[in-house]
Amino acid sequence: MLKEINTNNKVFTSKEFQKDKYKFLLILQNLQSKTLKLYSDEENYVLCRGGVEWPTWIWTIDNFDKSLLTEIEEAIDIYRLDIDTRFTCKKELYDLLVKDNFESLGDYYFEMGYLVCDKTIEPKKCDGYFDKATKEDEEVLTNFIYNESHEISDVKSLSIEEAKKAFEKRLNSGNYYVWKNDNNEIVAQAHYSVVDGNAKVAGVYTIPEGRSKGYAGNTIYQLTNIALENGYHVSLYTDYKYIPSNKAYKNVGYVDKDVLINFSCTRVKSYERR
């Protein structure tokens, strides 16, 4: 039965959730949010949102009982806003929502790949060198973060002020790295955040004029080695259909493990249980 739960609920220690916990890492990350909204039946599914500006993540056990679909649909309705609302789930659930003609599914649809690296593969060498980001890089990297957020379709577009805060957060984590070319100019960046023993690689960005030169691949390779040497499970999310970035990740040892679906829907004003 659907109910609001707390962060210590038994569902998070269940065998089924533990099997998927790194794939659904954003649920674990959002559990720390002060504006957390968390619902579950304590066994088969969890819906979690850290804040209204972020997608709601929906975890379901594999091959869940289809009689629970209506209950999950009603849970989704709790999270709908009066504007286009984003959700992330397994493809199995999304396909069932479509088949069931779930009300107000939006036009937004994005396939997000889940990749894991257990052992790196050394890429072709390129000019320049790997380095740790510093406070002196603030202006350059704030612009990197700003541009990254505006270029990638599935990322929230940030203001310069928000990009600066993101820079400070990444820098303070101690896991923020860059690639500098032979002219000592920053041409690529990446960082990782750690939750429950998993290092999630993110913020991979190369300046337009530096693309296809090996900068991103070498940055990811070096950064991933650091995370693995620290004993972390290493993963990342990517645009499943964007060949260049997926190729760069796989060339340095990342393996395609699954695909999650990001989709949208809007509030149904008179939702009726079926």
3-class DSSP string for the chain: CCEECCCCCHHHHCHHHHHHCCCCHHHHHHCCCCCCEEEECCCCEEEEECCCCCCEEEEECCCCCHHHHHHHHHHHHHHCCCCCEEEEEEHHHHHHHHHCCCCCEEEEEEEEEEEEECCCCCCCCCCCEEEECCHHHHHHHHHHHHHHHHHCCCCCCCCHHHHHHHHHHHHHHCCEEEEECCCCCEEEEEEEEEECCEEEEEEEEECHHHCCCCHHHHHHHHHHHHHHHCCCEEEEEEECCCHHHHHHHHHCCCEEEEEEEEEEECCCCCCCCC
pTM of this prediction exceeds 0.85: yes
> CA 216 to CA 214: how far, in whole Å?
6
> CA 227 to CA 233: how far, in whole Å?
8
φ/ψ of 87, rounded to 5, equals -135, 155
| Spans of the chain, pLDDT less than 70 | 153-155, 267-274
Task: Please give the pLDDT value at position 243.
Answer: 78
CB count in 10 Å sphere of residue 163:
21
Considering only CA atoms, which of 265, 259, 262, 260 is closest in space to residue 76? 265
Task: Please give the pLDDT value at position 153.
Answer: 64
Task: Please give the pLDDT value at position 267.
Answer: 60
Furthest C-alpha separation in the chain: 64
> CA 82 to CA 67: how far, in whole Å?
28
Task: Please give the pLDDT value at position 273.
Answer: 39
Task: Please give the pLDDT value at position 268.
Answer: 56
Q: Which single residue is written with the structure tokens 């993101």?
A: 166
Angle at 213 between CA 189 and CA 245, to 5 degrees: 60
Q: Let me know if 201 is exposed, middle or buried by CB neighbors in 10 A (0-12, 13-18, 19+).
A: buried
Task: Please give the pLDDT value at position 274.
Answer: 40
Task: Please give the pLDDT value at position 272.
Answer: 43
